[in-house]
Amino acid sequence: MKERIRTLRRRWQALYHRSSIQMVLSLSFTAVAVVGLVALGLTLFLRFSHLTNTQMAENSRRVLSQVNLNLDGYLRGMMRISDTVYYQVIKDTDLAQESLVEPLDLLYEGSRDSLVSIAVFSREGGLIAATPLAALKNSVAPERESWFVTAQQKIENLHFSTPHVQNLFEDPDYRYRWVVSLSRQVELTRSGAIEGGVLLVDMSFGGIEQICKDVDLGGRQGYLYLIDSDGEIIYHPRQQLIYAGLLEENNLAASIYRDGSYTETFLGQHRQVTVKTVGYTGWKLVAVVPSETVWDDYGQLIAFFFFVVLFSVYLLVFVNLRLSGWITAPVKKLDRAVKELEAGEEQVDFDVGGPYEVEHLSHSIQSMVSTLRHLMDDIIQQEEQKRRSELDVLQSQINPHFLYNTLDSVVWMTENGKTEDAVVMLTSLARFFRISLSRGSSVIPIADELEHARNYLTIQKMRYKNKFSADITAEEGVEALYTVKLVIQPVLENAIYHGMAYADGDGEIHVRAFRSGGDVIIEVADNGPGMPESVVASLLDQNGPIAAAGAKGSGIGFRNVDRRLRLTFGPSYGLTILSEPDDGTTVRIRLPALSAEAAQKYRKEDRP
């Protein structure tokens, strides 16, 4: 435990050292205020949560009251039909002289949308009159039905059954009609004598279903169902699933609830249950709202809570940042000045003002920066002079080397009487050196560099008595770009000395210039004997031996090209050698694609 505390302390210290003064001040001022705001916000949130639960329960009660009102009106309509049948038809009819069928037909026609059938039975269960269905099923004994028995027991009351399929009468349409039966005991008159009987009114269950379904309880998962006093389900939006045993409902527990709101857990789900009794029937309307739905309704409340807290925190942070910013402004300004200096800005203002300590520090830094700049300028100037000297030395190593070999060939031709060949060679040599001089510039168009290579090949083909053939091609647009001069000739020199020296008329050299992304590649390929990997690796090794003693073409020009390109353009450019024994050699010269405007930079660097 102590080790963990020490670890946390070290982390806090590291964070403290990485933080700015303004951040430390702002966080310190803000932390206390935020703790108070969060405590206040949680208190308000809990209070509002309670009010939301209360509001949800009140909303459920209002919905249930409306449904109860509609259901009560529907049931009272059925009761009025029952009362009309009893008091205006049955009591005024002597069964010995008159029939109940015609009056029942009239009443049925007036309420056929909500009725399925009206029937009157004797005390023993015999059918006296019925409409519109009048044929009892042979297998039915009305006196044993629950509605009949209950009506006999509850003489003064009406009895409403649970939903069931009408199964008393033969239906000529063979339809299965779901009904709720209203039954009551009645007094029948026969030849002036009073005898008992039962009136049955079968209501269409669709009327009750229409009232209860599509009730909005303020959530997509909330629903309402209807039960009788014993907990039997009269209506449920998923009634068929419950009857099939695929779904369960907590209806038996709800049957003992009094009117009001409750919180219960059923099948692992927390939910709010609101109960409302339907008048004199003993039925109960039950509204169920899962807790998830209640929390969904907290969305606006939570959003408001977070908005208030975040806005308050933002306001505090803003004020604290302004205050701490005012305190730390001189230090931050000094820090920005140092960063500008690190980024390479030439003119940096270190006059930051502020307290005496900060102002004194800024003057000291400014004095130190001035001294460092003078020292850096001296070092840069020395390095530039050194680099120019290296390039001049490398350049001077190329021309005398080639000039010596060419003049040696001219002397040989003259001594052997080949005056015309000597003239051609000297003419090519003149053109060669005219391009080499290039008015003192070391950066020339690639077109001139390729022409320089053609003159060189003319001279060498004459020296080697056409032992090899050569061609030079360039991709469209490449010749207009610029390059450091004398980069192809040293490579050609190595290709001739090492690749074509022993060729017998079948030697080939191909020079090709083309674009590769933002670079230019000048490729020199020959079909000479090639080189082993060890030799290839040593050719560009600036610290390795130049060549074997006595070897033709020491390779100094080859390395000089690579080094000049790297000194001028950077380490990404230079030479790449691809060679294997008996498979020829390919040398790739990689240059940046320089336009005339971009080449001006490198021309300026060459000026003293």
pLDDT at res. 471 = 93
Given a cut of 50, whether residue 551 has pLDDT beyond it is no
pLDDT at res. 294 = 56
DSSP 354: S
What does the pLDDT look like over 185-228, one tens digit per residue? 888 888 888 888 898 998 888 888 888 877 777 656 788 888 88
Average pLDDT over residues 355-364: 71
Average pLDDT over residues 414-420: 76
DSSP 86: I
Tell me the pairing of strands 507-516 and 468-474: parallel
Q: How confident is the model at residue 297 (pLDDT cuts 50, 70, 90)?
A: low
How many residues can be counted in the chain? 608
Helix (H) or strand (E) holding 358: helix 356-415
Angle subtended at Cα 266 by Cα 261 and Cα 272, rounded to the nearest 5 degrees: 25
Q: How confident is the model at residue 601 (pLDDT cuts 50, 70, 90)?
A: confident
Note the pTM of the prediction, 2 decimals.
0.43
| E-assigned strand segments in 32-126 | 115-122
What does the pLDDT look like over 586-599, one tens digit per residue? 999 999 999 988 88
The Cα-based distances of 132 to 104, 160, 172, 477 in angstroms read: 9, 21, 11, 102
Q: How confident is the model at residue 552 (pLDDT cuts 50, 70, 90)?
A: very low
Nearest Cα neighbor of 118 from 204, 209, 206 is: 204
Cα dihedral across residues 528, 529, 532, 534: positive or negative: negative
Given a cut of 70, whether residue 382 has pLDDT beyond it is no
Question: In angstroms, rounded to a whole number, what is the distance separating the alpha carbons of residues 435 and 445?
Answer: 10
Given the candidates 3.30.450.20, 3.40.50.2300, 3.40.50.1370, 2.40.30.10, the CATH classification of the domain at 93-208 is 3.30.450.20
Instruction: Name the average pLDDT for the chain.
Output: 78
pLDDT at res. 219 = 59
For 20-34, 375-389, 421-435, which range has the lowest pLDDT when averaged over its residues? 375-389
Question: In angstroms, rounded to a whole number, what is the distance separating the alpha carbons of residues 208 and 114?
Answer: 10
The residue among 441 and 604 whose pLDDT is bigger is 441
pLDDT at res. 509 = 92
CATH homologous superfamily for the domain 395-605: Histidine kinase-like ATPase, C-terminal domain (3.30.565.10)
pLDDT at res. 588 = 94
**For helices 299-342 and 356-415, what crossing angle results, to 10°?**
60
Q: Is 565 left (phi over 0), alpha (psi -120 to 50) or beta?
A: alpha
Q: How confident is the model at residue 553 (pLDDT cuts 50, 70, 90)?
A: very low
Tell me the pairing of strands 283-290 and 223-227: antiparallel
162, 131 contact by CB (below 8 A)? no
Q: What is the amino acid identity at position 31?
A: A
Alpha-carbon Rg of the chain, whole angstroms?
Answer: 54
Percent of the chain whose pLDDT exceeds 70: 80
The Cα-based distances of 101 to 98, 116, 437, 525, 527 in angstroms read: 9, 15, 132, 119, 122
Average pLDDT over residues 567-596: 90
pLDDT at res. 548 = 39
What is the CB neighbour count within 10 angstroms for residue 275?
Answer: 21
Average pLDDT over residues 273-278: 87
Give start-end residues of each CATH 3.30.565.10 domain in the chain.
395-605
pLDDT at res. 283 = 85
Percent helix, strand and coil across the chain, each to the nearest 5 = 55, 20, 25
Give start-end residues of each CATH 3.30.450.20 domain in the chain.
93-208
Task: List, in order, residues 6 or more apart from 358 with CB less than 8 Å away.
Answer: 330, 331, 334, 352
Question: DSSP string covering 157-226, please?
Answer: S-EEPPPEE--SB--TT----EEEEEEEEEEEEETTEEEEEEEEEEEEHHHHHHHHTT---SSTT-EEEE
- Dihedral, CA of residue 85, residue 86, residue 92 and residue 93, to nearest 10: 80
Q: What is the amino acid identity at position 156?
A: E
Question: In angstroms, rounded to a whole number, what is the distance separating the alpha carbons of residues 45 and 49?
Answer: 6
Question: In angstroms, rounded to a whole number, what is the distance separating the alpha carbons of residues 83 and 94?
Answer: 18
507, 495 contact by CB (below 8 A)? no
User: In degrees rounded to 5, what are phi and psi of residue 539?
Assistant: -65, -40
Question: In angstroms, rounded to a whole number, what is the distance separating the alpha carbons of residues 428 and 360?
Answer: 71
For 67-71, 336-340, 471-475, 589-593, which range has the lowest pLDDT when averaged over its residues? 336-340
What does the pLDDT look like over 58-83, one tens digit per residue? 777 888 888 888 888 888 888 888 88
Given a cut of 60, whether residue 459 has pLDDT beyond it is yes
What does the pLDDT look like over 130-159, one tens digit per residue? 888 878 888 888 888 888 888 888 766 788
Task: List, in order, residues 6 or more apart from 352 with CB less than 8 Å away.
Answer: 330, 331, 333, 334, 337, 358, 359, 362
pLDDT at res. 510 = 94
Q: How confident is the model at residue 410 (pLDDT cuts 50, 70, 90)?
A: confident
pLDDT at res. 421 = 74
Q: Is the peptide bond before 132 cis (omega within 30 degrees of 0)?
A: yes
What does the pLDDT look like over 480-527, one tens digit per residue? 999 988 889 888 888 888 877 667 778 899 999 999 989 999 999 998
CB contact burial 442-470 (16+ within 10 A = b; e otherwise): bbbbbbbbbbbbbbbbbbbbbbbeebbeb
For 218-232, 309-323, 382-396, 565-579, which range has the lowest pLDDT when averaged over its residues? 382-396
